């Protein structure tokens, strides 16, 4: 689920989930992630992915649905600050968001249970601060 929130709400969410050991909190600054390449590089660092991850949409979709990496948590929270600037210089912004909404979120909310051995559904939220 993608939700627009206020700056004060983002501070509260950040504090809450940083302390939660069952949560994978991924905080992003949209001002610094204006292209998919910058976004992918930030994900590689935050998620400690190996250098073999390529900067294409198929790899992005696959990597984001890898149940055996950083998602070994009950909750997955993306907190994107300055969302109006996030991917603003990338013509594929709509495609990246569609992949997230149509493939990644449904995967963790329901499909993981049927597609992986011992997979369990997880809460996944995307909070956007304008």
Each residue's pLDDT tens digit, 72-119 = 788 889 999 999 999 999 999 999 999 989 988 888 888 877 777 667
The mean pLDDT value of the chain amounts to 87
Q: What is the pTM of this model?
A: 0.87
Q: How many CA atoms lie within 13 A of 46 on its CB side?
A: 18
Q: What is the CATH number of domain 2-129?
A: 3.30.370.10
pLDDT at residue 115, rounded to an integer: 74
39 pLDDT tier (thresholds 50, 70, 90) = very high
For 58-113, give the secondary structure using H, E and C.
HHHHHHHCCCCCCCCCCEEEEEEECHHHCCCCCCCHHHHHHHHHHHHHHHHHHHHH
47 pLDDT tier (thresholds 50, 70, 90) = confident
pLDDT at residue 70, rounded to an integer: 57
State the average pLDDT over residues 56-80: 79
Break the chain into its structural domains and give their ranges.
2-129
69 pLDDT tier (thresholds 50, 70, 90) = low
Sequence-distant (6+) residues with CB within 8 A of 36 are 55, 60, 87, 90, 92, 93, 96
State the average pLDDT over residues 29-56: 86
């Amino acid at each position: 689920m993608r939700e627009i929130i206020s700056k004060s709400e983002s501070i509260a969410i950040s504090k809450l989930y940083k302390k939660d050991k069952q949560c994978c909190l991924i905080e992003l600054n949209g001002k610094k992630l204006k292209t998919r390449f910058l976004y992918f590089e930030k994900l590689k660092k935050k998620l400690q992915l190996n250098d073999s991850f390529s900067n294409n949409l198929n790899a992005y979709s696959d990597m984001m649905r890898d149940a055996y990496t950083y998602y070994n948590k009950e909750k997955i929270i993306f907190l994107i600050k300055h969302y109006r600037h996030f991917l603003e210089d990338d013509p594929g912004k709509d495609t990246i968001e569609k992949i997230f909404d149509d493939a990644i979120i449904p995967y963790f909310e329901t499909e993981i249970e049927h597609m992986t051995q011992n997979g369990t559904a997880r809460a996944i939220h995307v909070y956007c601060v304008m």
